[in-house]
């Protein structure tokens, strides 16, 4: 799940980024209006969290331009305190929701998740491979009738592999999409998490849905 956070207050941006990452989101931060606009139109995100007061271009202008360019990514706007007109403006311009600063992180997460759920089923289709079924909107994973409990990162990894099922994906691709573009930790984090996933989706059912392709990457078997 990729979130674009457009926020120029460094400390707030950093706090929100870390919190979202702990919830399993991949977060890209832009600190100016033009950077936010560029990222929003060049890359694919599941949700955009957009501040209004930004250097270069206001959040309103960023929102107006991304909608003009037919980017329909849900947008959660961060408005200033006591800005009733701001909230109305934000919704008029095509924001999907707004949150007044200062906000609690728990509320932010709830709103972001609500926006993800609100997307149409076509935008967030249920993913499956054989008996393995993942519902991105409900954040649930099942093997047949058995509900599985995954951590946010395991969930994100499985979702990514399911979206590319039948295709061998490299560790780098996985890092870029499930961690983030600037991840600088050890690359074996992918192996470690594939191991965690196997313990939950393969081992209990005596099979191996996730194949290792040595020196290349991983492939989720098409039929589960
Ligand atoms: Ca600001």
C-alpha 37 – ligand 1 centre gap (Å): 15
Q: Give the domains, in start order, of the chain with CATH numbers.
A: 2-118 (3.40.50.2300), 127-220 (1.10.10.10)
pTM assigned to the model: 0.64
| pLDDT tier for residue 175 given thresholds of 50, 70 and 90 | confident
Tens of pLDDT, residue by residue over 84-143, are 566 667 777 778 898 988 899 999 999 999 998 876 555 667 899 999 999 987 889 999
Q: What is the pLDDT of residue 191?
A: 92
C-alpha 86 – ligand 1 centre gap (Å): 14
C-alpha 17 – ligand 1 centre gap (Å): 15
pLDDT at 3 over 90: yes
Q: What is the pLDDT of residue 184?
A: 73
C-alpha 110 – ligand 1 centre gap (Å): 22
C-alpha 210 – ligand 1 centre gap (Å): 43
C-alpha 77 – ligand 1 centre gap (Å): 11
C-alpha 104 – ligand 1 centre gap (Å): 17
Q: What percent of the chain has pLDDT over 90?
A: 56
C-alpha 205 – ligand 1 centre gap (Å): 50
C-alpha 190 – ligand 1 centre gap (Å): 35
Q: What is the pLDDT of residue 36?
A: 96
Give me the DSSP letters along the chain: -EEEEE---HHHHHHHHHHHHHTT-EEEEE-SHHHHHHHHHHS--SEEEEESS-SSS-HHHHHHHHHHTT----EEEEE-TT-HHHHHHHHHTT-SEEEESS--HHHHHHHHHHHHHHS-TTTS--EEETTEEEETTTTEEEETTEEE---HHHHHHHHHHHHTTTSEE-HHHHHHHHS-TT--S-TTHHHHHHHHHHHHHTGGGT--SEEEETTTEEEE-TT-
């Amino acid at each position: 799940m990729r979130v674009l956070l457009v926020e120029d207050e460094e400390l707030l941006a950093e706090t929100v980024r870390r919190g979202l990452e702990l919830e399993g989101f991949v977060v890209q931060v832009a600190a100016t209006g033009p950077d936010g606009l560029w990222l929003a139109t060049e890359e694919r995100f599941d949700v955009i969290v957009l501040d209004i007061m930004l250097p270069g271009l206001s959040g309103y202008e960023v929102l107006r331009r991304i909608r003009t360019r037919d980017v329909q990514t849900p947008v959660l706007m961060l408005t200033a305190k006591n800005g009733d007109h701001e909230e109305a403006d934000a919704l008029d311009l095509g924001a999907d929701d707004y949150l007044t600063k200062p906000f609690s992180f728990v509320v932010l997460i709830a709103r972001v998740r609500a926006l993800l759920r609100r997307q149409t089923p076509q935008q967030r289709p249920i993913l499956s491979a054989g008996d393995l079924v993942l519902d991105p909107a409900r954040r649930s994973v099942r093997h047949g009738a058995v509900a599985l409990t995954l951590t946010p990162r395991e969930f994100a990894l499985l979702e990514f592999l399911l979206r590319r099922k039948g295709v061998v994906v490299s560790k780098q691709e996985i890092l870029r999409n499930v961690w983030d573009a600037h991840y600088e930790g050890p690359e074996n984090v992918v192996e470690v998490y594939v191991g965690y996933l196997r313990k939950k989706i393969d081992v209990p059912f005596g099979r191996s849905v996730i194949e290792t392709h040595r020196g290349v990457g991983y492939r989720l078997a098409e039929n589960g």
